[in-house]
């Protein structure tokens, strides 16, 4: 079966060809949005402004000012690099959040709308924190 792009992280797949593929636009948008969140500005050599670098905020104090800074950066970057996506809301889960993948992680949940296909979706990103000493 054909696909739109390689699914990241790369994994071997005998059905799709050499690698597992994203087969729907929803999968591609979600993957690209996750890459935008996780890429540190300056990491992409031909576009030094690309990325939010959400991991840079892991050791900031959890204050409304820092959350607003992150939300503003998300809206700016999505507007610039993915203008067909409308960010509806950003939620932050704490260390005590039962939906987080591990007790030592923070969860960011992004609710968004893909305008061309009129699709609402959400993306959860768990950010690992250093283990307690």
Q: Is this model's pTM higher than 0.85 or not?
A: no
Residue 18 burial (CB < 10 Å; 0-12/13-18/19+)?
A: exposed
Contact 109, 90 (CB under 8 A): yes
Q: Tell me which residue has tokens 């054909």.
A: 2
List domains and CATH numbers for the chain. 5-128 (3.10.450.40)
pLDDT band (50, 70, 90) for residue 133: very low
| Mean pLDDT value of segment 100-107 | 64
In 3D space, the residue among 90, 80, 79 whose CA is nearest the CA of residue 112 turns out to be 90
Q: Summarize pLDDT for 34-65 with one digit per residue, the tens.
A: 999 999 999 999 999 999 998 888 877 778 89
């Amino acid at each position: 079966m054909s696909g739109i792009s390689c699914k990241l992280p790369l994994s071997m797949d005998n059905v799709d060809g050499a690698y597992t593929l994203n087969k729907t636009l929803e999968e591609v948008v979600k993957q690209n949005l996750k890459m935008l969140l996780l890429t540190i500005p300056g990491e992409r050599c031909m576009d030094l402004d690309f990325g939010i670098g959400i991991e840079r905020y892991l050791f900031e104090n959890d204050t409304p000012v820092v959350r607003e800074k992150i939300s503003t950066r998300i809206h700016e970057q999505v507007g610039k690099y993915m203008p067909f996506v409308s960010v509806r809301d950003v939620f932050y889960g704490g260390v005590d959040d039962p939906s987080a993948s591990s007790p030592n992680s923070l969860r960011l949940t992004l609710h968004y709308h893909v305008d061309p296909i009129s699709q609402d979706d959400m993306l959860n990103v768990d950010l690992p924190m250093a283990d307690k000493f």
